[in-house]
Homo-oligomer: A and B are copies of this chain.
Amino acid sequence: MSVKRHYEREFVRTFFTSPTAVEGEDDSAKMLRSAAQLSGMQAPDVWVPDNEDATAPSMRDEGVENIIEVVSEHGADFPGEIHPRIVWHRDSPGTRYQGFQHMLEIADPDNGAVDHIDGFVVPEVGDIDDWKKADEFITIVENEHGLEEGSLSMSVIVESGEAELAMGDLRAEMGRPANNLERMFLLVDGEVDYTKDMRAMTPTGELPPWPELRHNTSRGASAAGLVAVDGPYDDIRDVEGYNERMVENQAKGMLGIWSLTPGQVVEANKSPLPPKTGSWLLEVGDREIELDAEDGKQVYRGDDVGLESTDDGYVLRVGGEEHELDEDELRQELLDMTAYVPSMDDIVDSMEEFEAAKEAGKGAIAMTQSATLVVDGVEVELQKDRMWDEATYQAAQTPITLFQDVYEHRPDQHEELEEMYGSDIVERATDVGN
């Protein structure tokens, strides 16, 4: 038997935090209220009214009242899940007790919010025994308020070395009779506090990249049937950097990311979805340059690669070095230097083609992509073959499964998805593979 998932969403793209209370404003719940009314691509998969770091310590009781008020009023219409972040600290029993009291209050059915609350987010957890303390408090909350045991999910922020290690124990611990850790939902990296806890530092004060932490979080989620989410990207104007981070995360199996603004939510909702149109990349050294598609040709404009046709064949210049090549060698070299980014349409096509082949009794088929590459005005025809077998098919399916999960759970995004892809592709993408 594989691990049971108690929650509905298998994919979470966006984890969006909003302060629960802002000091010195007439309506301290203003930001909470505006977050609660987001919809479509601006609304996150998981919305986190944040009563921890985003709310001033002196305002946290008021924050709880605001959560109750705003979620009661807008929760029924909010298109994503709602998981308030309460206060917690592995080293402070006082903070943990405060978090427990806040959960008791928020989940009180008399307050009218709990019907729209999917779970709680627990920050600053320590080792697995600390996770069990939070789980136990949620069990008591459920019991006191007549909720089904395990009905509230628990997500944690991984921001200490011991929490990182705990993710390796989680699968084994989740089965034990004395806890309800099956309620676990998200493993969220919190790189700012993690950096502090690890006592790491960089000359400029930028956060270290922490690739191993992200790997371990993704692996922990995979092993325990949970969902991995990366931490906040605090340069909120740097849209390109945010997108690069997400592409890097996706290659680690971490498909979700924290969003600090509705603008970041839009980017993060779209990032794991395949593009509308395919494109060709030219890899030069460590860089990947997207080629310009013009009249069906793929044009390179830049100085790092040069191509000249000579009497004997071709001279290809890459970086500082020149290579004399005949036509076959040139084609091979360029094949190695190029890559194709398939569109949603391409992926659905390939999956359908493979499914048909499988039904016809074939275990593997070759998929071909063709292009005319233009460098310095010289044109070269390329054909890229890739063998698809069952394993390729299943790996290619991940973006489609994610798309289908989104389509099922986020009707408020249907319109935008149809605008992005056209309704024909949306329909085929929701059907394929089932």
Residues on A lying within 8 angstroms of B by beta carbon are 1-2, 11, 23-24, 53, 56, 90-91, 126-127, 160-162, 164-165, 168, 171-172, 192-193, 195-206, 208-209, 211-213, 215-216, 218-223, 234, 238, 240-241, 247, 250-253, 255, 272, 281, 285-287, 302-304, 319-321, 336, 339-342, 361, 363, 386-387, 389-392, 394-399, 402
Contacts and interface: CB of A to CB of B under 8 A. Distances in A.
A205 B251 CA distance: 10
Nearest to A255: B199
8 contacts: A161-B223, A193-B394, A200-B251, A203-B247, A204-B341, A205-B386, A238-B336, A302-B321
A223 B127 contact: yes
A162 B168 contact: no
Most buried by B among A11, A204, A285, A304: A204
A199 B196 CA distance: 30
Smallest CB-CB A-B distances: 4 pairs? A303-B320, A198-B253, A161-B222, A161-B223
Contacts of A222: 160-162, 197-199
B321 A196 contact: no
A64 to B, nearest CB: 18
Nearest to A241: B336
A433 to B, nearest CB: 13
Contact of A160 (B90, B223, B287): B223
Given A201-B251, A212-B212, A303-B321, A394 B339 contact: no
Nearest to A126: B2
B223 A281 contact: no
Given A161-B220, A162-B223, A361-B23, A200 B342 contact: no
A40 B219 CA distance: 40
B391 A192 contact: yes
A165 B164 contact: no
A203 B302 contact: no
A165 B395 contact: no
B363 A23 contact: yes
A198 B252 contact: yes
A219 B165 contact: yes
Given A171-B127, A398-B201, A252 B208 contact: yes
Given A2-B91, A91-B2, A220-B161, A200 B253 contact: yes
A201 B341 contact: no
Contacts of A398: 196, 199-201
B395 A192 contact: yes
Contacts of A219: 161, 164-165, 198, 212
Contacts of A168: 165, 168
Contacts of A240: 336
Given A2-B126, A198-B253, A199-B253, 18 more contacts: A161-B223, A192-B392, A195-B253, A195-B395, A196-B391, A196-B398, A198-B219, A198-B222, A201-B251, A201-B398, A204-B281, A204-B340, A205-B396, A212-B215, A212-B216, A241-B336, A303-B319, A303-B320
Contacts of A208: 251-252
